[in-house]
């Protein structure tokens, strides 16, 4: 896999002579965009943060919590060097000398190894007169702490709850100072982009799981057909649907291009490139209920629609599963979906119903068949 090529601090030596603006320009030109799921242009984010006033921070979001996503884990395990190098380069570009690596609680077994990489990087960057400290902060297992503002609250020692945006972290982030937050995969790309002018920015790490016999991380280009990816996973049965993680919805299995636009047209999102295959032996209502359980459990509890709504959604889905629900329950379910996605405070709440809206759009019959 290309993303696992160890840049070995060669990119750091290269940028030591560069002006920060030049680094930002290279990243902008490369077209690198956020790999956490939002796909926001990284170069712009760097520029916004650079242009903000105050002491600045870099945060690496290693709180990979989206169900079905495990590509960051692979990079953290196999090529942590690039992540750390990417952080230092980003820090240098925006004018920051302090970074935090926010590590998912379940990944704490990687902490020692990452600390060694950080110590080693510190020696090398100091020699290059690039002064940058990195601290590892362990998450405690909350899904919501993958949200950038919840990470900030958590690092500040507060309850891991999202903040109201705006202000955005680029203006007011950690300790109310300008903060750059990037996903692990995004950061790992930075040194490779610096070293290779022709770096292929269309490569993505697809986490494939579900009803396949060969689940795992596959590095493919954007625009690859879904069929090609699923076949790599060698499914035993006919695939009925695919879910894009849990937050980004589902589509019926068909030969569709894996790119952001094509999937958006279908009402789902490619997000962090997590593909969960569901075969025809599965009951979509069961799958949906299972996902609803996840969102109910992981709601941070701050805002009304997410806290109360996800619980009521689960309640209604369980009612449907038990064949006790009537048509009006299904209508209430749809109403809840609309309001939760439109009024939740943070992205996680807003996207907590996409799986259900898309399931109801494509597999409504399975729900209807269970009404009393």
Partner 1 sequence: MKITINSKEIECQSDKTILEVAKENNIEIPTLCYQEGFEARAVCRICMVEIDNKLLPSCSTKVKDGMIINTESKKVLEARKINTELLMSKHKKAYFGESKEHELFKIAKDVGIRQVRFNNNKKVYIVDKGIAIITDNNKCILCGRCVQACQMQNVSAIDFAYRSYHTKVTPAYENKLDDSVCVNCGQCLLACPVNAIYEKDDTKDVLKVLKSKKHVIVQTAPSVRASLGEEFDLPAGTLVTGKMVSSLRKLGFKKVFDTQFGADLTIMEEAAELIERLKENKNLPMITSCCPGWIKYIEHFYPELLNHVSTCKSPHDMFGAIAKSYYKDKYKINKKDLVVVSIMPCTAKKFEIQRKEMKKEVDYVLTTRELARLIKIKKIKFNNLADGDFDSALGLSSGAGTIFGASGGVMEAALRTAYETVTGKKLEMLEFNQIRGMSDFKEGSIVINGKTINFAVVNGLGNAREVLEQIKNKKCKYDFIEVMACPGGCIAGGGQPIPTNKEIVQKRMQALYLNDKNNTIRRSHENPAIINLYKEFLGRPLSKKSHKLLHTSYIKRGT
By CB under 8 A, residue 344 contacts partner 1: yes
**Which one, 89 or 300, has the nearer CB to partner 1?**
300
Q: Which of residues 155-194 bind partner 1 (CB under 8 A)?
A: 159, 164
Query: CA-CA distance, 35 to 106, in Å (whole number)?
Result: 20
**Which one, 66 or 366, has the nearer CB to partner 1?**
66
Pairing of the two strands 57-62 and 98-103: parallel
CA dist list (Å): 155 to 35, 52, 103: 21, 21, 11
**Which one, 65 or 86, has the nearer CB to partner 1?**
65
CA dist list (Å): 236 to 22, 81, 210, 212, 256: 50, 37, 11, 7, 20
Assess contact for 287 and 278: CB atoms under 8 A.
yes
Read off the DSSP letter of residue 4.
Answer: G
Q: Which of residues 290-309 bind partner 1 (CB under 8 A)?
A: 296-305, 307-309
Q: Which of residues 140-159 bind partner 1 (CB under 8 A)?
A: 142, 144, 159
Tell me which residue has tokens 């950061």: 187
CA angle 90, 168, 103 (to 5 degrees): 55
Which span (25-33, 188-196, 229-237, 332-340) binds partner 1, by CB under 8 A? 332-340
CA dist list (Å): 196 to 10, 76, 84, 168, 192: 11, 21, 18, 31, 6
Question: At closest approach, how far in Å is the CB of 71 from partner 1?
Answer: 26
Q: Identify any residues that bridge with 87 across adjacent strands, giving them in sequence order.
A: none
Query: CA-CA distance, 367 to 364, in Å (whole number)?
Result: 5
Question: At closest approach, how far in Å is the CB of 216 from partner 1?
Answer: 31
> Exactly one of 46, 134, 336, 359 binds partner 1 (CB under 8 A); which one?
336
Question: At closest approach, how far in Å is the CB of 63 from partner 1?
Answer: 15
Read off the DSSP letter of residue 96.
Answer: -
**Which one, 113 or 158, has the nearer CB to partner 1?**
158
By CB under 8 A, residue 311 contacts partner 1: yes
> Exactly one of 122, 312, 361, 371 binds partner 1 (CB under 8 A); which one?
312
Number of residues that bind partner 1 (CB under 8 A): 30
By CB under 8 A, residue 45 contacts partner 1: no
Which span (8-16, 246-254, 340-348, 352-360) binds partner 1, by CB under 8 A? 340-348
The residues, any chain, with a CB within 8 Å of residue 282's CB and separated by 6 or more, are: 211, 240
Question: At closest approach, how far in Å is the CB of 295 from partner 1?
Answer: 9
Which span (5-13, 64-72, 115-123, 330-338) binds partner 1, by CB under 8 A? 330-338
Interaction site with partner 1 (CB under 8 A): 142, 144, 159, 164, 296-305, 307-312, 315, 332, 335-336, 338-339, 342-345
């Amino acid at each position: 896999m290309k993303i696992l090529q160890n840049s070995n601090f060669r990119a750091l030596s290269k940028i030591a002579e560069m002006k920060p603006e030049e680094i930002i320009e290279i990243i902008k030109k490369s077209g690198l965009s956020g790999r956490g799921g939002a796909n926001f242009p990284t170069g712009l984010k760097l520029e916004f943060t650079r242009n903000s006033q105050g002491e600045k921070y870099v945060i690496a979001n290693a709180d990979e919590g989206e169900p079905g996503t495990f590509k960051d884990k692979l990079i953290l395990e196999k090529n942590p060097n690039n992540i750390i190098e990417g952080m230092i380069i980003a820090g240098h570009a925006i004018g920051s000398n302090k970074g935090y690596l926010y590590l998912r609680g379940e990944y704490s077994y990687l902490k020692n190894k990452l600390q060694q990489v950080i110590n080693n990087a510190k020696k090398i960057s100091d020699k290059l007169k690039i002064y940058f400290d990195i601290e590892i902060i362990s998450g405690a297992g909350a899904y919501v702490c993958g949200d950038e503002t919840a990470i900030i609250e958590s690092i500040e020692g507060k309850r891991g709850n999202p903040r109201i945006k705006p202000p955005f972290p680029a203006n007011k982030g950690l300790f109310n100072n300008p903060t750059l937050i990037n996903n692990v995969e995004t950061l790992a790309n930075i040194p490779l982009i610096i070293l290779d002018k022709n770096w292929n920015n269309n490569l993505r790490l697809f986490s494939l799981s579900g009803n396949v016999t060969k689940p795992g991380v596959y590095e493919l280009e954007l625009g690859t057909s879904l069929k090609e990816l699923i076949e790599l996973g060698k499914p035993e049965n006919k695939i009925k649907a695919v879910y894009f993680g849990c937050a980004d919805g589902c589509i019926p299995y068909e030969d569709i291009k894996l790119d952001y636009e094509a999937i958006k047209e279908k009402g789902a999102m490619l997000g962090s490139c997590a593909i969960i295959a569901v075969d025809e032996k599965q009951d979509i209502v069961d799958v949906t209920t299972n996902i609803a359980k996840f969102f109910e459990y992981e709601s941070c509890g701050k805002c009304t629609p997410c806290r109360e709504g996800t619980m009521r959604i689960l309640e209604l889905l369980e009612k449907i599963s038990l064949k006790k629900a009537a048509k009006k329950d299904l209508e209430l379910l749809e109403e809840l979906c609309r309001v939760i996605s439109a009024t939740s405070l943070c992205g996680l709440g807003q996207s907590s119903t996409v799986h259900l809206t898309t399931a109801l759009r494509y597999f409504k019959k399975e729900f209807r068949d269970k009404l009393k």
